[in-house]
Amino acid sequence: MKENNKTSRRDFLVSGLLAGAAITGCSKPNDFVQNQEVALTGEKVKLLSVEGEVIEIDKAYLKPVPNLPTITNEDERRGIPGKKFVMVIDLSRCKNLKKCQIACDKAHLINPGQNWLKIYPMQDSEHTAPYWQPTNCMHCDEPPCVKVCPVDATFKRQDGIVLIDNERCIGCRFCMAACPYSSRIFNWSGQDVPADIAALPYSCETSLPPKMGTVSKCDFCPDMNRKGELPHCVQACPNGVFIYGDMNTDIVSNGSETFRFSELIKEKAGYRLMEDLGTKPSVYYLPPVNRNFPFENGLENQSADDKLNTHKL
Amino acid sequence: MENSIRLSEEQITQDLLPQKFGKLGMIWVSILITICLVGVYAYYRQIRYGLGVTAMRDYVSWGIYISNFVFFVAISLVGSLITAIFRLSNVKWSTPLTRIAEIIAVSAIVFASIIIIVDMGRPERFTNLFLYGRLQSPIMWDVIVIGTYFFISILLLYFPLLPDLQILIKNKDKSGPKLNWLYRFQGSFWKGTPEQLKICNKAINTLSILIIPVAFTIHTVTSWLFATTYRPGWDSTNFGAYFISGAFLVGSGGVVVAMYVFHKFYHLEKYITDLHFDRMGRIVVLLSFLYLYFNVNEYLVPAFKMKKSEEDHLAELFSGDFSHMFWFAIFVGMIIPIIILLFKKGRKPLPMFIVGCMIVVGAWFKRYLIVTPTLLHPFLPMQDIPANFRHYFPSWEEWAITSGSLAGALLVITFFVRIYPIVPIYETITEQLESESHEN
């Protein structure tokens, strides 16, 4: 099933539908025909049975399987075996285009005014150079949010991802107070969700459908991972700022270029945010040197509410 | 001699039996019920439309619900001070105050639990705390110790009430059939035999010892809800002691206010005397100094260093948006009470009542200052958010729910006083007998 799920959710549902019909058709072929009174279309479809035989049935027998669950909550809590996901954010390439943010907000149905991914104008002190710093969840190895959660609604997976189970979250917001990176947002009043997404079974990996009264944050797109795709922000950035991958295989990519993670960090002197807090983030930054764009280019994208704010790291 | 004792015993009983609400009492109760009902309506709106009806947003994710919770937990600590600490250190004069302190403790801890559920985004998932509870979370510690504290406090209220229930049952013509049923239900097994008295005393002593560590724990754990995070203003090793000293102060302030009200409106001048006000005044001065000491530690030590992360937060408190409230809480909640109470005239009932009110109001705002300003100063600057995320002023629903919870706590105390004697009758009589036999 997982292998079928390569392109989009809609395709996935269609393939699930076919497979479901095939299983029903093969296990009880007689019931299948007898119990269903449908007008035959005459159009035949070839399906692969459980035994590996190719069988042919009329298209009219194909029925959609609604809300086919992808993977169990247990699997979602365990993570993808053998992986350790990391992200490298190259500050020398960012000019506050906000394409990452737009793609992320859209994919996760985030309410207007809230973001999982924020781009900060930073200036460490008066005489140092300003730069743009995209910040999402750091997926810390010592996550302060997970420590304080009273119900195990936010948890650390084997593959390094920190996720939230919105069906368990009680909405106490202790994790928001605990996170020093302000990466968590709360679903204060709910939102309008398109009917097809609202009908989906909830998944921690897609964080959909969104749940009112619970906390959400960047999930490192494990659903995209399972499909073998890069997270939405990585794909959306035209400048290749976000470089995402697996620490175990030591390969990270921004879609157009691929690097050895260890070499990239070594060559460009990668660092992590607020190292002194001991949170051990999975997100690394490359310093804003030899920049592709001057800082000022990004200013036009700053909203009126966010007039230049500079802050020390 | 025997006559005079019997007379005073009857008189004590007459004076201390619960009194029906007068006109003023009825007005008081109806105002409280109205405030509670408005709060219930506001909560209905919050359930229906989500926490979006509050002014809390992603940065200020805890608002007056949490500061009100801290306030309730703080004020409830006084039960352990007056009942347990005084009892174990053989302080006799506090007898008429024990029940006042204990009912304040019980009603405050009940409303602390209610208000924390009100703050939850998903109150219907409250049971998840028991289904999936993880012991490493300070919230679980709070759930455990608050539950324990509640049960010990209820027992410390109930056991000393048993001899009084017997007196109430004896005087059944003074109360209606419903109340009599309640008294009998709660205390008909009590015969006052020496055996029973012995068990009861032993139980109270055991509970008094037990409640002290539990009381210290509830407020220490409540302070850890903040101190276990990295945020400037919360990241402090001083927090447990700071919270406990503040809690004893606000609780004593609350007891002083209640003492004055009962002394004045229930005509208990013979039982809650100027001596009690004077003694409580001395205790309040001591506690104010103690709390002030912890405040100096909490604010001036970081201010001396002015680390970058602390600087914005402290500047906002000392001279920024929150400075009025900050200096109000410091002066009205600590310094002016100390000045007034250092004088003997300041420890008379009326000035004590005013000081008590100042301390309680100052303490409420102090809790607000502990919660909100810190959240407005995150490590990374506020960014990519609408303008209303940058400030916090509670919405009418938050005010209504908060006022409703405060009114509810007062209502519980008011009804308790209507049903049970607020000054222990039995203990007052025995202590009088003891002191008289001492004189003879």
What pLDDT, in 10s, does the model give residues B240-289?
Answer: 999 999 999 999 999 999 999 998 888 888 889 999 999 999 999 999 99
- Asked whether the beta carbons of B84 and B212 are under 8 A apart, the reply is yes
Q: Are residues A95 and A184 in the same domain?
A: yes
Environment class of B132 (CB within 10 Å of its CB; exposed 0-12, middle 13-18, buried 19+)? middle
Cβ separation B121–A149 shorter than 8 A: no
Those residues with Cβ within 8 angstroms of residue B215's Cβ, 6 or more apart along the chain or in another chain: B77, B79, B80, B81, B84, B149
Which residues between 137 and 176 in chain B have a beta carbon less than 8 angstroms from any beta carbon of chain A?
A: 137-140, 143
State the pLDDT at residue A57.
84
Which residues, listed in sequence order, are joined to residue A55 by a DSSP beta bridge? A47
Interface test mutation site (partner A, options B62, B125, B228, B392, max chain A beta carbons within 10 A)? B125
Q: Which one is predicted more confidently, B68 or A71? A: B68
Residue A161 placed within a domain:
yes
Q: Are residues A171 and A223 in the same domain?
A: yes
Domain that holds residue A36: 9-61
- Asked whether the beta carbons of B372 and B67 are under 8 A apart, the reply is yes
Q: Are residues A118 and A209 in the same domain?
A: yes
What pLDDT, in 10s, does the model give residues B37-77?
Answer: 999 999 999 999 999 999 999 999 999 999 999 999 999 99
Chain A CB contacts of B392 under 8 Å are: none
Which residues, listed in sequence order, are joined to residue A133 by a DSSP beta bridge? A120
Question: With an 8 Å Cβ cutoff, is B387 touching chain A?
Answer: yes
User: Which of the four pLDDT bands, split at 50, 70 and 90, describes residue A25?
Assistant: very low
Coil vs helix vs strand at B398: helix
Read off the CATH number of the domain in which A295 is found: 3.30.70.20
Q: Are residues A52 and A89 in the same domain?
A: no
- Nearest C-alpha of chain A: how many angstroms from B59? 8
Q: What is the mean pLDDT of chain A?
A: 85
State the pLDDT at residue A306.
66
Residue A313 placed within a domain:
no
State the pLDDT at residue A28.
42
State the pLDDT at residue A15.
47
User: Which of the four pLDDT bands, split at 50, 70 and 90, describes residue A16?
Assistant: very low
Closest CA to A207 of A104, A114, A117: A104
Query: What gap in Å lies between CA A259 and CA B269, rounded to an integer?
Result: 84
Cβ separation B381–A305 shorter than 8 A: no
User: Which of the four pLDDT bands, split at 50, 70 and 90, describes residue A65?
Assistant: low
Query: What gap in Å lies between CA A168 and CA B394, rounded to an integer?
Result: 28
pLDDT above 80: residue A2:
no
State the pLDDT at residue B220.
96
pLDDT above 90: residue A301:
no
What pLDDT, in 10s, does the model give residues A179-231?
Answer: 999 999 999 999 889 999 998 889 999 999 999 999 999 999 999 998 899 99
- Asked whether the beta carbons of B149 and B211 are under 8 A apart, the reply is yes
Closest CA to B67 of B313, B392, B284, B385: B392
Q: What is the mean pLDDT of chain B?
A: 92
Question: With an 8 Å Cβ cutoff, is B52 touching chain A?
Answer: yes
Closest CA to A56 of A103, A21, A85: A21
Residue A295 placed within a domain:
yes
User: Which of the four pLDDT bands, split at 50, 70 and 90, describes residue A37?
Assistant: low
Residue A261 placed within a domain:
yes
Work out whether the CA dihedral B103, B106, B112, B118 comes out positive or negative: negative
Residue A3 placed within a domain:
no
Q: How many CB atoms lie within 10 A of CB B382?
A: 19
Q: Are residues A102 and A28 in the same domain?
A: no
pLDDT above 80: residue A272:
yes
Interface test mutation site (partner B, options A140, A189, A285, A305, max chain B beta carbons within 10 A)? A305
- Inter-chain Cβ pairs, chain A and chain B, closer than 8 A: 150
Cβ separation A303–B387 shorter than 8 A: no
Chain A CB contacts of B51 under 8 Å are: 171, 186, 188-189, 213
Cβ separation B62–A147 shorter than 8 A: no
Residue A168 placed within a domain:
yes
Query: What gap in Å lies between CA A216 and CA A183, rounded to an integer?
Result: 9
Cβ separation A188–B57 shorter than 8 A: yes
State the pLDDT at residue B39.
97
Question: With an 8 Å Cβ cutoff, is B119 touching chain A?
Answer: yes
State the pLDDT at residue B81.
81
Cβ separation A169–B380 shorter than 8 A: no
How many domains is chain A built from?
2
pLDDT above 50: residue A4:
no
Identify which of A101, A120, A189 has the shortest CB distance to residue B50: A189
Pairing of strands A85-90, A283-286: parallel
CA A289 to chain CA centroid, Å, is 29
For every residue of B245-282, DSSP letters joined together read HHHHHHHHHHHHHHHHHHHHHTT-TTTS-HHHHHHHHH
Cβ separation B389–A113 shorter than 8 A: yes
| Helix residue ranges per DSSP H, A6-53 | 9-27, 29-34
Query: What gap in Å lies between CA B107 and CA B102, rounded to an integer?
Result: 9
Chain B CB contacts of A309 under 8 Å are: 381-383
Q: How many CB atoms lie within 10 A of CB B128?
A: 18
Cβ separation A149–B137 shorter than 8 A: yes
Question: With an 8 Å Cβ cutoff, is A176 touching chain B?
Answer: yes
Residue A153 placed within a domain:
yes
**Which residue do the tokens 């084997």 mark?**
A158
Angle between helix axes B194-227 and B239-265 (nearest 10 degrees) is 130
- Nearest C-alpha of chain A: how many angstroms from B336? 34
Interface test mutation site (partner B, options A182, A189, A275, A276, max chain B beta carbons within 10 A)? A182
Q: Are residues A13 and A142 in the same domain?
A: no
Work out whether the CA dihedral A226, A228, A234, A235 comes out positive or negative: negative
Residue A70 placed within a domain:
no
Q: Are residues A182 and A251 in the same domain?
A: yes
Q: Which one is predicted more confidently, B347 or A311? A: B347
Identify which of B120, B375, B382 has the shortest CB distance to residue A171: B120
Segments of chain B scoring below 70 in pLDDT = 1-7, 439-440
Question: With an 8 Å Cβ cutoff, is A23 touching chain B?
Answer: no
Question: With an 8 Å Cβ cutoff, is A44 touching chain B?
Answer: no
Identify which of A150, A181, A303 has the shortest CB distance to residue B137: A150
Query: What gap in Å lies between CA A156 and CA A79, rounded to an integer?
Result: 9
Phi, psi of A58 (to 5 degrees): -75, 145
User: Quick one: what percent of chain B has pLDDT higher than 70?
Assistant: 98
**Which residue do the tokens 């119900």 mark?**
A151
Chain B CB contacts of A149 under 8 Å are: 134, 137
